Amino acid sequence: MQPLAGLEAALVETGRLTTHVISRGPQDGVPVLLVHGNVSAARFWEDLMLSLPHSYRVIAPDLRGYGRSERAPLDATRGVRDFSDDLFALVEALGLDRPHLVGWSLGGNVAMQYAIDYPDALRSLTLVAAGSPFGFGGTHGLDGAPNSPDFAGSGGATANPQFVAALAAGDRGADSPVSPRNVMNSFYFKPPFRSPREDVFVDEMLTTHCSPQNYPGDSAPSDNWPGAAPGTGGVNNALSPRYLNQRGLAAIRPQPPVLWIRGDSDQIVGDASLFDLCMLGQLGAVPGWPGAESHPPQPMVGQLRAVLDEYAAAGGQYREVVLPECGHSPHIERPAEFAAALVEFLAQA
């Protein structure tokens, strides 16, 4: 794999695992650490990396089980702490001094966990289409109340098995609606957007290691709708509210400035997410939905805003930027506006 011209790729031994990183900029530059989302990899950041001022040292790692990093198993009972501890180990291995941390989607949850566990070890926090601090699926209300005692409706079983099979088979085609290419073009981006780097992105999606301990993870049977509860391994279980609760972000000290930037047409992370089984149940796509009183669609955006409002009430600062006609990948769909907002924020942080 060769990154775009002007970028360098390397393997870094951290003591926790072998991490593949793409980087650019002077060794003594102010560090900016970019964390990718689920079923993606560091190369989704390459164009942004080249657009940032050359005074920054910009680093994009592949998370464990993605890209060219080690396929180490993920202990979901720790939430996303395996990922955030990996990041801290990388920061130490590279000798980075309090990086600016930028996390997209799953990477946003990883970045929030990093801020909770290592608040002295970052300069700022940028959340790009970040997931809810109360996890993905299985909750309702702005305080993340569980729909069921066992958090059914979240975890490994939420992934479409046909999509997982297509990933595992290395499907680069466009014949199936659940092929990685079609899922990306339908949901990562707001149609009709198509990236000129589509083939590269599909290849990077296909580096996702599919297993019960990586993507999407295992599951357990449940007597509660929709019949499956979280397991204990893999990324989708790490994002289950059974193990992930990041409300503690509001209480961290010190309080780095926060930029939250998202598209207004995000179908993955939103208050009507088409990846939320409760939303799909409401639409009739998942049978047996118990109804909106007990299982309404998860207000993912509202939940994150509620925690950031608590952060602000405790003395922190955050800014929310919503890009119109944009889906789940603002840095790819609206690169100039995204880069401008990020550069302005980093300069002031």
pLDDT per residue as tens digits for the range 97-113: 999 999 999 999 999 99
Under the banding of pLDDT at 50, 70 and 90, the label for residue 318 is: very high
Structural domain containing residue 90: 8-348
* Nearest-angstrom CA–CA distance, 219 and 120: 36
* Residue 1 placed within a domain: no
Other C-beta atoms lying within 10 Å of the C-beta of residue 122: 23
Q: So what's the pLDDT on residue 187?
A: 98
Tell me how many domains the chain contains: 1
Which DSSP symbol is given to 34? E
| Contact of 42 with 36, CB cutoff 8 Å | yes
- Largest Cα–Cα separation, the chain: 57
Asked if the model's pLDDT at residue 66 lies above 90, the reply is yes
pLDDT at residue 289 in the model: 98
Task: List, for residues 143-156, the tens digit of each pLDDT value.
Answer: 999 999 999 999 99
pLDDT band of 341, cuts 50, 70, 90: very high
Give SS3 for 33.
strand
- The confidence score (pLDDT) of residue 282 equals 98
Here the tokens at position 152 are 């059914």
Instruction: Please say whether the beta carbons of 288 and 226 come within 8 A.
Output: yes
* 2 within domain boundaries: no
- Judge whether 146 and 241 are in contact, CB under 8 Å: yes
CATH number of the domain encompassing residue 83: 3.40.50.1820
**Does residue 344 surpass a pLDDT of 90?**
yes
Residue 3 lies in a domain: no
CB 70 within 8 A of CB 64: yes
Beta carbons within 8 Å of 95's beta carbon, 6+ residues apart:
none
CA separation for the pair 111, 83 (Å, rounded): 9
Say how many C-beta atoms besides its own lie within 10 A of residue 143's C-beta.
Answer: 11
List residues bridging with 75 in a β-sheet.
233
Q: What is the pLDDT of residues 219-275, one digit of tens each?
A: 999 999 999 999 999 999 999 999 999 999 999 999 999 999 999 999 999 999 999
What is the pLDDT averaged over residues 191-207?
A: 98
Report the predicted TM-score, pTM, of the whole model to 2 decimal places: 0.98
Residue indicated by tokens 């990236």: 195
Q: How far apart are CA 37 and CA 184, in angstroms?
A: 12
What residues form DSSP beta bridges with 230?
219
| β-pair partners for 101 | 33, 125
- Is the residue at 232 inside a domain? yes
Task: Kindly tell me if the per-residue pLDDT of 1 is higher than 90.
Answer: no
Classify residue 105: in a domain, yes or no: yes
CB 206 within 8 A of CB 180: yes
CA distance 213 to 199: 27
| H or E stretch at 111 | helix 106-117
